[in-house]
Structure formats: C-alpha cells, structure tokens
Structure 1
Amino acid sequence: MTELVWQQLPADDRGLAYGDGCFETLRLTPGAAPLWSRHRARLLAGASRLGIPLSADELDMALVSALGRASESGAEVLKLILTRGSGGRGYAWPEAMVPRLVASLHPRPVRSPHDYTDGIVAGLCQQRLALQPAFAGLKHLNRLEQVMARHEVQQAGWQEGLMCDTRGRPVEFTSMNLFAVVAGELWTPPVTECGVAGVARGLILEDLAPALGLSTQVTARPLSQLDAATEVFACNSVAGILPVRKLAQWVWPVGEITRSIQGRLEQRFE
C-alpha cells in the first residue's frame, strides 16, 4: 500500500537520497484535472519501469484528496512525487518496500499574455542530455541536467533553453518539449534515448495534430534542422503552448499551425 503524504518527506526517503522515483505536475481546473488519464498512465508506467508498486486506484484517491484541497485554496497545479519510500544507507532496495506518494498544491505560474501571442525568446544551452535508453521518456527524479541548464537560462535572461543530447541533436527545452513545422509537417525529436515523454507532447501527436490533418514526424535530426523550420513552439501540460519567436540565431513568426494547436489544447481546460 502506497503512503500518501502532503508536503513532507523523511530524511531517509530514497527519493531524496538517490532520486529513486518519478513525478507528475498537472494543471487543475475547478473540481477536475482535464489531462488526468494521461498523467496517471505515465506515472503508472514510470512506476512499473522502476519496480515501484503503485495502483491506479491509489492515484485516483490521491487526486480526489487534492481536488478537495484545491477547491479550498484555489490552487491550479498539483505535483505528485512517487518514491520507493524510506530505506537505509546504500543503493539496494529495502526488503520491506512502502512506496511514498508526496502531494503538493501550487498556484499556476504567471506568464505575460504576450508570451502566448507574440512568442518567447530561448537560447541554446551548453548543458547536454546524456544518452540513457533505460530511463528515456521517464519523468524521473534525477533532474540535475535540467537544473544546470535552467541556471544557464537564468544567467542569460532567456525565457527557455534548448537542450541537445551528447551527439548535438536537439531534444527538448529545460521544462518543455520541442515542436517545429518543417515542410508543412509537424516534427518533434524522439525521447527514446533521453528526454521526457511529455503529456502535452503525447496529446499533440496522438490527437490534436491528426484532428488538424497534420502529418507528424518523430525523428532524430541535427540542430541545423531548425534552418528549415517555419514555426517553432514549446509545450507542457501546465504552461500549454508557447510559440518560440527567437532561439539563438533563428527567428520565426507565430504561425497558424501553432495558434491552432494552442487553441485546441486550451479548450481541454475550459
């Protein structure tokens, strides 16, 4: 049975000691979590890959508790952190494993409306993403690469930073997935060797893009691929779709495909 706790973590928790777990951050509306089925599926899949027992019923009960608290506080973001639970010193799994689900509620980050209408400015991070297929796609608790890349973003004054893998291929932004329109098709990098399989990314590929009649390409391509892009945007389930108007030497308009996908995603939260 998974232990549900609110905003507290013992010092011997393996998530703190070793990053032994995974997490979800989801956007709430009054009384609902519109993309819950996708967040739940990803957290269950992550738990399965890491060998941490977790059931859909336990997650649903946690959501009910969170929605009740959110209705009182007005919070719009729920973060769920799943860890293997407490354990002694050493990497070996504890023999008596009691997973821990840590829940916390937060306001939705405030962004300027111009970020959505006019686009954001991003830069190219020097921090690279290591290739590790065993954990690729997971939203696991080991985020040091993103922490260091985000520091670059802060130091440079960008709004986001694009991260490449150790071969120099673009993968994702520090906290958002990357999409570009190239030759009329919607392209995004694969997350089979590194990177996060974002909930919004999956929704776009499986639902929103097909609904617009768009062909999609999920292929590893060089950074020079951006030379041919006519539109670029970043996405995650909390922020939604942010057009990218400038990244390093590249400049793009906010195009119709970006606006259409942006509008369709926002409809899910109405």
Structure 2
Amino acid sequence: MDVPGWPLDDRGAAYGDGLFETVLVRDGQPQLWLAHVERLARGCAVLGIPVPERAELERLLAAAPPGLQVLKLVLTRGSGGRGYRPPLPPTPRLRHQWLPFAPDTRNWVEGVRVRLCHLRLGSQPLLAGLKHLNRLENVMARAEWSDDAIAEGLLTDSDDRLVEATAMNLFWQRDGRLQTPWLGRCGVAGTLRDTLIERLGIDEVDVSVNELRKASAVWVGNSVQGIWPVRDLEDAEGVALANWSLNSVHRAFQAEAHALLGFETCFEACFDTRFDNLGK
C-alpha cells in the first residue's frame, strides 16, 4: 500500500536513487547549514537531480518546532523511467521529518566502547563522500551486534583501510597530529568532519586499523550527536585491541566540535569547567 505523499514507484524507495541530510536545528536555527546545503548540492550534481530551491528549504526551517530538533531531508529522483533507466527530465520529490532530540551526554563524558565490523565497504569513488540513500552496507554492519554497551562499529574497505563508523566519522590523534580516514573510495564525508578539517587542519590519511592502535586519542562523531571519545576498541569477535584513558586532549577536541553545534554550554556544564581550544 502506498504511503501518502510517497508512492510505491518512487525511485528512492525502489533503488535508493536519492540523497538525504540530517540537520541539527536549535529553535529554528540549523547548525552547519551551509555545509549541509553544499553537500546536498554536490550529491545532486553527481546523481543528476535538480537541487531544491533554497526558498523551499528556508520554508521548511521557518516551520521548525521549538527546542532542539533533527530535520531529516530526503530527496529522490521521483517516479518514472523504465527499470533502472532514469526519467528525463526527472521530477524530484523532497520529503522531510522533524524529530525532537537530546544528545547522549553520558557518552560525551564517559566515552564509548567500539568494535570492528566484519562487513567491508565496497569501493565506488564516484559516490564517495555523498550521503546517498544506498545505506544497506551500514544497516548490515549495524546488525552485527546487539550489545547496548557497544556504541559504534568501525568500518574498513576491502583492503582493510579505515573508512568510518556505521553512523559517524572517525578521528584520532597520533604524534601530536589530528587525523581522519581519507574518503576517496567510499564513506560519507560528514558536515562536522569537513568543518573540523578546515578549522583544525586535520590530516586525511589512508591507513589500516593497526595504525589506529598507535593513536594517543580516538573519537567518533557526527553533526547531530557531536563527538564521543573512544575508550575501548575491540575486534569483531569481542577481543580487546586497545584502550585509552580520557584526558584534556579528548576534551579539547570535543569542545572545538561542540562549539560548532551550539553544544558548548551543555558540554561545559557536564564538567563544570571550560576547555581550551586546540591550537589556541
């Protein structure tokens, strides 16, 4: 049965032919909005889907519920075409959803336990970095564990190169340098990740999991939850690979990221203190 406003022949539902964005919105003010709009436009250029009018997006924001919300935008090519052959011209369909949100501040403070996933991400440079609707790999990876004590799973490609977490990007510090996986083959280039790369000069590196074990600090994060410091790393069988004691380096990186998301007051309240920014 068709869902109202979302016909069964929509190409996003049938083929994953589309893009999505999840935007943190505080009292009608979207966080990292320009980065989200730019990533959506990049995806549209690659897929050949017309970019939504900025006025249409602004109208959605004008109707934002009060408080802290997550706005999910789903843009598909619409209906039409024959089989995999897309319609020319496309008639895009934009849907949205508002969800109330509260960050997991316990993970901010205590850090998290993460594991490696069995699943390996496929390589497709043309789609690398985009937040497209083909997320079955992430779904299958997240289905590998049900233990709530494990907050995230780390994904590698077929050559065992680090890529990302199932729903977050990955960061670490080694020899005094901040690093994050290079995403030239696969993975989602998060808006928080890209902004932090620009602000802090984070190095994008193409490395294996073994390099991560040499890091002095590790984090996972995205533009909704903020940054979670990693306390424990396990392999896919639950065998401990590394652990880290949380320190001022972890907190300084969190403070930089959380200021970008408007979480700075909430973050500092968790510790009743202020944290000096990295490199300041």
TM-score, normalization: structure 2?
0.85
Aligned to 1:3: none
User: 1:105-145 CA deviation, whole Å, 9 max, x = no partner?
Assistant: 1122552x221012011111101101111111111110000
**AA paired with 2:231?**
R
Aligned to 1:46: 43
Between the aligned partners of 2:47 and 2:252, the Cα distance in structure 1 is: 37
Aligned to 1:213: none
Aligned to 2:56: 62
**Corresponding residue SS for 2:57:** helix
The answer on whether the counterparts of 1:84 and 1:97 sit within 8 Å (CA) in structure 2 is yes
- Percent of aligned pairs with the same residue? 43
What does residue range 159-238 of structure 1 map to in structure 2 within 5 Å? Answer: 159-207=151-199, 209-210=200-201, 216-238=202-224
The answer on whether the counterparts of 2:233 and 2:243 sit within 8 Å (CA) in structure 1 is yes
User: 1:89-119 CA deviation, whole Å, 9 max, x = no partner?
Assistant: 50111134211111111122552x2210120
**AA paired with 1:99?**
P
Compute the displacement of 1:18 (Å): 0.4
Aligned residues: CA RMSD: 1.9
TM-score, normalization: structure 1?
0.88
Compute the displacement of 1:227 (Å): 2.1
**AA paired with 2:228?**
L
Give every structure 1 segment of 4 or more consecutive aligned residues whose post-TM-superposition deviation is greater than 6 Å: none
1:108 equivalent to 2:130? Answer: no
The answer on whether the counterparts of 1:121 and 1:245 sit within 8 Å (CA) in structure 2 is yes
**AA paired with 1:76?**
Q
**AA paired with 1:181?**
Q
What does residue range 1-270 of structure 1 map to in structure 2 within 5 Å? Answer: 8-55=5-52, 58=53, 60-71=54-65, 74=67, 76-108=69-101, 110-111=103-104, 113-154=105-146, 157-207=149-199, 209-210=200-201, 216-248=202-234, 249-270=241-262
Between the aligned partners of 1:71 and 1:157, the Cα distance in structure 2 is: 32
More helix by share: 1
The answer on whether the counterparts of 1:7 and 1:103 sit within 8 Å (CA) in structure 2 is no
Between the aligned partners of 1:89 and 1:155, the Cα distance in structure 2 is: 43
The answer on whether the counterparts of 2:154 and 2:166 sit within 8 Å (CA) in structure 1 is yes
Change (3 A) 1:36 1:68: same
- Show structure 2 runs of 5+ residues with no match: 235-240, 263-280
**AA paired with 2:117?**
C
